[in-house]
Amino acid sequence: MHNLWQVHTDKFINEKESIMRNGNVYQIANGYMGYRGTLDEFGPDELVGITLAGLYDRVGDAWREPVNAPNGGFTEITLDGREISALSTRIKKHHQSLSLGNAVFERETDFESRGKALQIKSTRFLSADEPNLGVIKFSFTCNKAARVRIKTGIDYNIWDLNGPHLLKLTAKKKSGTLLVQSVTGEASKKVTVAEVIDLHFGKQTHEAGGNKNLRVIELDAKANQTYTFYKYFAVVTDNDPVKTSVHEAAIKKVEEAKDSGYDECLSRHNAQWAKRWEHCDVKIEGDDEAQHALRYSIFQLLMVAPVNGSANSIPARALSGQVYKGAIFWDTEMFMFPFFLYTYPEKAVELMRYRIKTLDGARRKAKTEGAGYRGAFYAWESQESGDDACTYFNIGDPFSKRDLRTYFRDKQVHISGDVAIAMWEYFKVTGDDSLLLEGGGEVILECARFYYSYAYFNKDKHRHEILDVVGPDEYHERVNNNAFTSMVAKATFEIANAMVEYLRRRHPDKLKSLVKKMDITGALPVFREMADLLYVPQPDETTGAIEQFDGYFKLKETTVKELKARMIHPNEYLGAGQGLAVPTKVIKQADVVMMLNLFKDRYTEQVKKANWEYYEPRTEHGSSLSACAYAMVAADIGKLDWAYSYFLKTAKIDIEARYKVYVGTIFMGGSHPAANGGAWMTVVFGFGGVKANAERVVINPRLYKEWKSLQFNMFYKGDSFNVKITRNDVTIIADPSNKCNRTFVVSGKSIECVPGKRLFVGYR
């Protein structure tokens, strides 16, 4: 098999679609920004994008989306007066690669122009050590003497889906530094890009025009001599905690980087990446395909993890562009968060801080949505303030070109419970209650308060019900008693109750002041009643099947294949008012199965099996979130071949980049961090059978038949463990720095892991 620490290609396909998909596959990111995997000479038509985390803007009535910064990585070459570009020059050879070890992108292209051969090589990375910084090494060699002109600098022809977001763009040169300064239209936030180069040949002039701020270097290049220069660019915005002005900070960052030099910048960057991999890698012995796909998935998550202290989160398309408005969905808590919680807790904290930061936005949404509710109704599509970026008409109909009413925003109420569950998981797995005290407790109580105000008491049946919702299966909207949603709401009440009990015991003063601040004393007994009396659809006594929502079993029976055969337009949406799936049992994505995975301890194997088998043929997997849920439950019930094929589907989504890029009229191209997180969960939770709770870590291994071993690290209660599962046994090494003994239960055998000791347990 190929290099398991790399993705690469030897082809350049000069087609828009391929350039767009490669832009995703080869993107680099450092949590502060993402840089799409495009070539040095490309511009907005090739979807060059440097997408900034946590900075959003809105133009007119269009969707609010993250801001793309001017491209400080731009370089173009002219050979004897002819522009050289992968788009227009004959290519003899092309190779591009992305290292998974350190997120370094490289391209090497051999061009032929009028009988001369020119080779261009460039290497780029976004510093993992200095988040504002990008660094590029650029070289060229011509086989014959030639007149060469290099234009390098900042291109501020920006690709936007709903822009332009940057106004008052001005290009300057200050001493040796190029600057492009701008402000966002909506909030007037400054965005500045600075660029310096380290170059020791040719004659340099400055050229600004056509939305490019460039230096022009002219030289008579000698035959077969390689010319190399280095570029350093920095993006700084008003969101950054800088002490000087934004442009001064940007200049300082590039000057310091230049002073340090390329090798030093790279070695600091590499050191950060080495640290990440040391703890986050997962090794699968005996299956290179799975290993590579999983490593790429983990790599994606590591690249986009928020910068420490930013209280940012990870959008559904990460930092690969502006798709989905750069918004944060339930994807983060339910699919990405567990990876961080178990392997990189300092990032898990950041993701939770984001929900604390946006609590007021969630409160505003609760008050203003529908009849008006209490508590916190988190945004379905959340940006920096927590106000909902999701529109009521969120999908374009490719037939009529009109926007379709969807109820994602106002009815997908499970989002609040998803947040509460993640907040509580953080506490259970880390044992760290500081987040609860810093606002996490308030988040949980506000989510419970929201469900209480949303629920309806059915007097006849003497139960509370959650009505008129959209579950994860977005093809069936406004349904009653959706099993997933109701279960999540019930869990929210249970969590709120457990949290209050915990605070009462451990932090009574904090509880007192929180209850007073929130004016919630009266609600606390009610939360206990809600936890007991909230109705969740139960398994049918004979079949074990759980009805996804009231009336689902009465819908039309059809198959996904039959349904798809009836599609008139390849991008037509199967849900919303008139969608083909609406009157049928075909569902978009795991819903009941998602619930069985999330609450796996509450259901018997027989119930999980019955529902997996019932819903699997009826699921379209129209969302990238679906496959991993089916994979995990399949592993849980011993259908390991199924688990494996769903695992590969989820883990390869971004490497293969064959996903659909339009839903309705909406462009959706980009990366899929939720599926990446799902890949990790499938391996560690599914095949590894790992589950931690407040008392112990349970491991019930069920390795896939091709795997000789599975090895990973995990944190539990602040202590670190290395776990290796082979076909017959489990070895657990407790780090010597661990604070105390921790209980692990391997296939029913309880063992104490003593700091610094290695334990070996047979499980067959």
Q: Which residues bind ligand IFM (CB under 6 A)?
A: 316, 324, 329-331, 472, 474, 623, 625, 674
Query: Which has the closest alpha carbon to 272: 241, 303, 298?
Result: 303
**Count of Cβ atoms closer than 10 Å to residue 331 Cβ:** 27
**Complex with ligand IFM: residue 397 or 474, whichever CB lies closer:** 474
Three-state SS string over 148-202 comes to: EEEEEEEECCCCCCCCCCEEEEEEEEECCEEEEEEEECCCCCEEEEEEEEECCCC
| Alpha-carbon span 104 to 381, nearest angstrom | 31
Handedness of CA 572, 575, 576, 580 (dihedral sign): positive
Contact predicate 123/19, CB 8 Å: no
Q: What Å distances lie between residue 699 and 157, 346, 593, 749, CA to CA?
A: 53, 24, 21, 10
Q: Scanning the structure block, which residue is given the tokens 């000698």?
A: 222
Q: Which region holds residue 679: left if phi is over 0, alpha if psi is between -120 and 50, else beta?
A: alpha
| Alpha-carbon span 161 to 555, nearest angstrom | 38
State the virtual CA torsion across 669, 672, 675, 680 in degrees, nearest 10: 150
**Complex with ligand IFM: residue 388 or 474, whichever CB lies closer:** 474
**Complex with ligand IFM: residue 246 or 470, whichever CB lies closer:** 470
DSSP letter assigned to residue 575: S
Least distance CB 576 / ligand IFM (angstroms): 13
**Complex with ligand IFM: residue 152 or 623, whichever CB lies closer:** 623
SS3 511: helix
Least distance CB 408 / ligand IFM (angstroms): 8
Q: Which two tokens stand for residue 516?
A: 């007073």
Least distance CB 54 / ligand IFM (angstroms): 18
Query: Which has the closest alpha carbon to 135: 260, 23, 245, 51?
Result: 260
Least distance CB 755 / ligand IFM (angstroms): 40
Residue 530: exposed, middle, or buried by beta-carbon count in 10 A (0-12, 13-18, 19+)? buried
* Residue of 350, 446, 474, 494 marked catalytic: 474
**Complex with ligand IFM: residue 316 or 466, whichever CB lies closer:** 316
Give bridge partners of residue 122 from the DSSP assignment.
Answer: 107, 138
SS3 640: helix
Contact predicate 230/262, CB 8 Å: yes
Least distance CB 623 / ligand IFM (angstroms): 4
Least distance CB 668 / ligand IFM (angstroms): 8
Contacts 24+ apart (CB under 8 A), 185-189: 185/57, 185/58, 185/59, 186/56, 186/57, 186/58, 186/59, 186/64, 187/57, 189/55, 189/57, 189/237, 189/238, 189/239
Q: Which two tokens stand for residue 670?
A: 């980009």
**Complex with ligand IFM: residue 544 or 575, whichever CB lies closer:** 575
Contact predicate 487/569, CB 8 Å: no
Size of the chain in residues: 764
Least distance CB 475 / ligand IFM (angstroms): 10
Q: Which two tokens stand for residue 352?
A: 């939770």
| Alpha-carbon span 30 to 16, nearest angstrom | 26
Contacts 24+ apart (CB under 8 A), 357-364: 357/311, 357/386, 358/382, 358/384, 358/385, 358/386, 359/386, 359/439, 359/442, 359/443, 359/446, 360/385, 360/386, 361/385, 361/386, 361/387, 361/388, 362/386, 362/416, 362/446, 362/450, 363/446
Least distance CB 349 / ligand IFM (angstroms): 22
* Continuous segment of H or E residues that includes residue 674: helix 673-681
Contact predicate 159/44, CB 8 Å: yes
Least distance CB 55 / ligand IFM (angstroms): 20
Least distance CB 346 / ligand IFM (angstroms): 25
Least distance CB 558 / ligand IFM (angstroms): 21
| Alpha-carbon span 124 to 81, nearest angstrom | 27
Which residues, 6 or more positions from 41, have their beta carbon under 8 angstroms from its beta carbon? 74, 75, 76, 77, 84, 85, 86, 87
The answer to whether residue 108 is catalytic is no
SS3 220: strand
**Complex with ligand IFM: residue 291 or 589, whichever CB lies closer:** 589
Least distance CB 758 / ligand IFM (angstroms): 41
**Complex with ligand IFM: residue 207 or 572, whichever CB lies closer:** 572
Residues known to be catalytic? 474
